[in-house]
Structure 1
Amino acid sequence: MRIFKTILIILSIFFIIGTFLPVLQLDIWWVQIFTFPRIQISILLTLLIISWFIFFRFRDKINIIVIALLGIALFYQGFRIYPYTPFSRTQTDIVEMQDSLTTLSAVSSNVYMKNHDYQSLLKLIYQKNPDLVLLLEADEWWADKMDTLQADYPYTVSEPLDNTYGMVLYSKLKLEDAEVRYMMEDSVPSIHAYVHLPSDQKVRLYCLHPKPPVPPESESSVERDAELLLAGRMVKKTEEPAILMGDLNDVAWSYTTRLFLKSSQMLDPRIGRGFYNTFSAEVPLMRWPLDHVFHTEDFQLNRIEVLPYIGSDHFPIYFSLSYQPTETDEQEPLEPTTPKEEDTVEKKIRKGMTKE
């Protein structure tokens, strides 16, 4: 029993520390990694609390202290993931009257460069028939195999790379001022364009795929955070209808994502609806939401869903939004950034742009 209690204490201390390390907001990879599995850590914390109740008495002060700390850690984890449960209030309303002239739909898929099951993805695309298709981790092989899409998607922005950061955007709708930008690193592209809805309303589109804060890809989250926050600043500055999508290598409940939502005043259609976990497609017990879609208040939601397995380590994600600028009064973005938070945004962007 003593050995069991020692193991239980070690595990409890580990997950308590892991819960609160991200509060320090350090961009070191081994700190950032604890922001991802909040669902899994919550489950483990619950099991640890149950174990303490079953196997040990409350007469020992150490038992009471450990259980109290585990309870605080579990509450904090729950507080962070709560907005992405059906118990929370939604940010994005469901559109009441769909209009094909104002609707934009998309499939975003990290294809996993080493995956060669392109036919499964093509089948999904033809089934969902979206207006936009975004491929991430696309190299020349993937660009060639998906070339058949151009018959239905005449507007294409292609930047295939063999470093797992290539991307290709296919569009049925007219694209304007489409360009590939390297916002933070000369090996990590992003796509920026205007999309013309059938009504001819222009929508600003940002497609991102920054590096994850995991060695050997990156020792920190500096560039990832800076790229997302810089895109958010662009959205806020232009004040145009906008959609941002892609594999952000960050979870929906992270400090950076929340800071992005506050500074850009964009909405997350998953809030109040669910986690929509897209990674890892191959390890069911280790899944979290890495693939995202955000939009300005001009839009309401038709549908959002995670699509079936295509051989990649990510599930594709599908969404359909409706441009409804006069019907969105009840949609509420997060509170705007405070001066202190704006200073943090500025420092993070500057740090990302100056890091060698």
Structure 2
Amino acid sequence: MRTFKAILVFFSIFFIIGTLLPLLPMDIWWVQIFVFPRIQISVIIILLIALWLIFFRFRKGLNVVMVILLGASFFYQSFRIYPYTIFSRTQTDYAQGQDTLTNISAITSNVYMKNHEYEKLLLLIEQKNPDLVLLLETDEWWAEKMDTLKYKYPHIVSKPLDNTYGMILYSQLQLEDAEVKYMMEDSIPSIHAYVKLRSGQNVKLYCLHPKPPVPPESESSTKRDAELLLAGQLVKKSQEPAILMGDLNDVAWSYTTRLFLKSSQMLDPRIGRGFYNTFSAEMPMMRWSLDHVFHTETFQLNALEVLPHIGSDHFPVYFSLSYQPTETEEQEPLEPTNAKEEDTVEKKIKKGLEKQ
């Protein structure tokens, strides 16, 4: 029993520390890594509390301390993931009515460069028939296999790369001022373009895929955070209808994502609806939300879903939005809590740019 208790103490302390570490203002990867599995950590903490209560007397000092600290840790983890449960209020309303002229739909998919099951993806695209298709981790092989899309998606922005950060955007809708930009690193592209809806309305589109804070890709989250926050500043400054999508290598419940939502004034359609976990497709017990879509409050939601497995380590995501600027008064973006948060955004962007 002593060995069992020692093991229980070890794991309890480990997950308590894992809960506390992301509170530190540190971008280093071994701190940031604990932000991703909040759901899994919450489940493990419940199991640890149950073990303490079942096998040990609650009146003893160490037992009481462990249960209280684990309980506090569970409360904090739950607080962070709560907005992405069905118990929270939705941030994006469902669209009333279906005006196809103002709708825009898309599939965004990290194809996993080494994955060669391209037929599955082509079949999904044919079934969902989205207006836009954003493919990430595309190299020349993938560009060649997806070439048949050009007949239905004549507007294309293509930047295939063999470093797992290539991206290709296919569009049925007209694209204007489309550019491949390098916001933080010369090897990490992003796509910026205007998409003209069938109604004639222009929508600014941002497609991102920053590096994850995991060695050997990156020792910190500095550039990832800076790229997302910089894109958010562009959205806020332009005051235009906008959509941002892609594999952000960050989770919906992270401090950076929340800071982005506050600074950009964009909305997350997952809030109040679910986690929509997309990674890892290969490990059901270790999944979280890496693939995202955000939009300005001028849009309402028609549909949002995680699509079936295509052989990649990510599931594709499908969404459909409706441009209804006069119907969105009840949709409320997150507001910056204080001036310190606005200052944090500036500092994170500056730090990312300085590391170029």
* TM-score, with length taken from structure 2: 0.99
Q: What is the CA deviation profile of residues 65-99 of structure 1, one whole-angstrom value per residue up to 9, with x for unaligned ones?
A: 01000000000000000000000000000001110
C-alpha separation in 2, matches of 1:22 and 1:108: 29
Aligned position for 1:261: 261
Describe how 1:105-120 pairs up with structure 2 within 5 A. 105-120=105-120
Describe how 1:218-257 pairs up with structure 2 within 5 A. 218-257=218-257
C-alpha separation in 1, matches of 2:9 and 2:339: 41
C-alpha separation in 2, matches of 1:171 and 1:57: 63
Q: What is the CA deviation profile of residues 278-335 of structure 1, one whole-angstrom value per residue up to 9, with x for unaligned ones?
A: 0000000000000000000000000000000000000000000000000000001111
C-alpha separation in 2, matches of 1:336 and 1:131: 33
Q: What is the CA deviation profile of residues 163-218 of structure 1, one whole-angstrom value per residue up to 9, with x for unaligned ones?
A: 00000000000000000000000010000000000001000000000000000000
C-alpha separation in 2, matches of 1:78 and 1:68: 15
C-alpha separation in 2, matches of 1:319 and 1:16: 37
Q: Percent identity?
A: 77
Which letter maps to 2:82? Y
- SS of 2:146's equivalent in the other structure is helix
Which letter maps to 1:146? M
Aligned position for 1:37: 37
Q: Post-superposition shift, 1:338?
A: 2.5
Which letter maps to 1:267? L
Which letter maps to 1:229? L
C-alpha separation in 2, matches of 1:54 and 1:336: 44
- SS of 2:286's equivalent in the other structure is coil
Describe how 1:203-222 pairs up with structure 2 within 5 A. 203-222=203-222
Aligned position for 1:326: 326
Describe how 1:260-339 pairs up with structure 2 within 5 A. 260-336=260-336, 338-339=338-339
Which letter maps to 1:190? S
Deviant stretches of 4+, over 6 Å: none
C-alpha separation in 1, matches of 2:284 and 2:12: 24
Describe how 1:88-107 pairs up with structure 2 within 5 A. 88-107=88-107
CA contact (8 A) 2:212 2:218 kept: yes
C-alpha separation in 2, matches of 1:87 and 1:120: 34
Over the aligned positions, Cα root-mean-square deviation in angstroms equals 0.6
Which sections of structure 2, spanning at least 5 residues, go unmatched? none
Which letter maps to 1:136? L
CA contact (8 A) 1:263 1:337 kept: no
The size of the alignment, in residue pairs, is 356
- SS of 2:46's equivalent in the other structure is helix
Which letter maps to 1:57? R
Which letter maps to 1:218? S
Q: Post-superposition shift, 1:337?
A: 5.2
CA contact (8 A) 1:167 1:189 kept: yes
Aligned position for 2:201: 201
Q: What is the CA deviation profile of residues 44-75 of structure 1, one whole-angstrom value per residue up to 9, with x for unaligned ones?
A: 00000000000000221110001000000000
Aligned position for 1:61: 61
Which letter maps to 1:10? F
Which letter maps to 1:68? I
C-alpha separation in 1, matches of 2:3 and 2:251: 36
Aligned position for 1:20: 20
C-alpha separation in 2, matches of 1:219 and 1:70: 29
C-alpha separation in 2, matches of 1:204 and 1:257: 20
- SS of 1:97's equivalent in the other structure is coil
Q: What is the CA deviation profile of residues 113-133 of structure 1, one whole-angstrom value per residue up to 9, with x for unaligned ones?
A: 000000000000000000000
Q: Post-superposition shift, 1:342?
A: 1.0
CA contact (8 A) 2:306 2:318 kept: yes
C-alpha separation in 2, matches of 1:72 and 1:333: 29
CA contact (8 A) 2:180 2:189 kept: yes
* TM-score, with length taken from structure 1: 0.99
- SS of 2:54's equivalent in the other structure is helix
Describe how 1:6-17 pairs up with structure 2 within 5 A. 6-17=6-17
Aligned position for 2:80: 80
C-alpha separation in 1, matches of 2:9 and 2:177: 58
C-alpha separation in 2, matches of 1:209 and 1:170: 16
Aligned position for 2:168: 168
Q: Post-superposition shift, 1:339?
A: 1.5
C-alpha separation in 2, matches of 1:288 and 1:351: 27
